[in-house]
């Protein structure tokens, strides 16, 4: 049986545009170095491909500085894709540029029409449910609309809260396998992962929580040795990718791809 939450045959990414240096960030961490980001992006794509997946790299979109973070534009399920409605005004126009790529892969592509907002970074799909954290980018109306769209396919959506001052729900957690989640303590403390096995990011390495399980690999940001060791102790096949440049504009491993 396929574990649709981490076994994937396809991924969609988008090449960073020169304008990525103007990407949104909650705090000033300096300007991303485009040349380094392109090297890291290539490494990321190559790592996804190494699992045997077919990876599409869409062309850069200069008018949308954050468009490299394709995860926020859609939710990809086995049966259908849903175009999101980002809460960040500068990101709303990105979505229509993702629509054609998804229509080429799916028979059924739905869209969040509004008035609510929802971004893919706030959605964690597990083997049994879809968890959505409300945040500054995702509101109750957006979650309700998603619930209605996925109900006929038998998915249950659990409405949660992204911790205050955390960009997205998945900034602080990732799925490692059908029943295991990597999480910061600040997020898991809310009790949202009851019934799952939880591995906590070690103190000072909270920024490592945004990883992805993609086929046989757990792909995480480099520079978090305690988290990498913890995951290897638990027998995960860990791949580390430099994320210094995306991190300056609050991006991480999950944001860089749509996986299905
Ligand atoms: C933003 O603020 O929208 C981008 N600079 C970062 C988006 C990161 N996406 C994600 O966590 N899914």
Residue boundaries of the structural domains of the chain: 10-259
pLDDT score of 208: 98
Residue among 13, 28, 72 whose CB has most ligand 1 atoms within 8 A, to mutate: 72
Closest by CA to 40, choosing from 18, 62, 17, 16, is 16
Residues with Cβ within 6 A of ligand 1? 23-25, 66, 69, 71-72, 88, 91, 121, 167-168, 170-171, 249-252, 254-255
The residues that bridge with 130 in the sheet, in sequence order, are: 125, 157
Distance 203 CA to ligand 1 centre (A): 23
Phi-psi region of 170 (alpha: psi -120 to 50; beta: other; left: phi over 0): alpha
Which segments of the chain are extended strands (E)?
A: 10-14, 54-58, 74-76, 81-83, 109-111, 123-125, 130-134, 157-161, 173-177, 180-183, 197-200, 212-214, 217-221, 237-241, 258-259
The residues that bridge with 11 in the sheet, in sequence order, are: 55, 259
pLDDT tens digits for 173-201? 999 999 999 999 999 999 999 999 999 99
Atom number in ligand 1 closest to CA 91: 3
Q: Give the global pTM.
A: 0.97
Distance 121 CA to ligand 1 centre (A): 7
Does the annotation mark 76 as catalytic? no
Does the annotation mark 168 as catalytic? yes
pLDDT score of 151: 97
Contacts of 136 (CB under 8 A, 6+ apart): 87, 167
Cβ–Cβ contacts within 10 Å for residue 220, how many?
26
pLDDT score of 1: 60
CATH no. for 10-259: 3.75.10.10
pLDDT score of 2: 72
Determine which one of 5, 117, 168, 173 is catalytic. 168
Under 8 Å between Cβ of 178 and 5: yes
Atom number in ligand 1 closest to CA 121: 12
Q: What is the dihedral of CA 14, 209, 133, 58, to 10 degrees?
A: 0
Distance 120 CA to ligand 1 centre (A): 9
Collect the ranges in the chain with pLDDT lower than 50.
none
Residue nearest to atom 2 of ligand 1 (CA): 24
């Amino acid at each position: 049986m396929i574990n649709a939450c981490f076994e994937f045959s396809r991924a969609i990414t988008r090449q960073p545009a020169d304008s990525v240096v103007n990407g949104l960030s909650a705090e000033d961490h300096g300007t991303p170095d485009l040349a380094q980001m392109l090297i890291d992006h290539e490494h990321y794509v190559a790592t996804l491909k190494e699992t045997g997946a077919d990876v599409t790299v869409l062309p850069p979109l200069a008018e949308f500085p954050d468009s490299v973070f394709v995860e926020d534009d859609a939710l990809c399920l086995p049966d259908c894709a849903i175009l999101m409605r980002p809460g960040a005004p500068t990101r709303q126009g990105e979505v229509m540029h993702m629509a054609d790529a998804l229509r080429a892969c799916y028979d059924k592509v739905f869209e969040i029409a509004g008035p609510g907002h929802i971004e893919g970074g706030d959605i964690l799909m597990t083997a049994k449910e879809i968890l959505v954290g409300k945040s500054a980018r995702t509101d109750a109306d957006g979650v309700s609309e998603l619930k209605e769209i996925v109900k006929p396919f038998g998915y249950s959506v659990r409405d949660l809260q992204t911790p205050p001052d955390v960009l997205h729900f998945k900034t602080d957690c990732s799925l490692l396998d059908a029943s295991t989640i990597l999480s910061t303590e600040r997020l898991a403390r809310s009790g949202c992962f009851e019934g799952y096995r939880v591995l906590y990011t070690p103190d000072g390495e909270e920024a490592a929580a945004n990883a992805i399980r993609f086929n046989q690999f757990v792909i995480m940001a480099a520079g978090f040795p305690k988290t990498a060791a913890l995951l290897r102790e638990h027998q995960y096949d860990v791949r580390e990718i430099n994320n210094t440049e995306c991190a300056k504009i609050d991006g991480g491993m999950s944001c860089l791809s749509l996986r299905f």
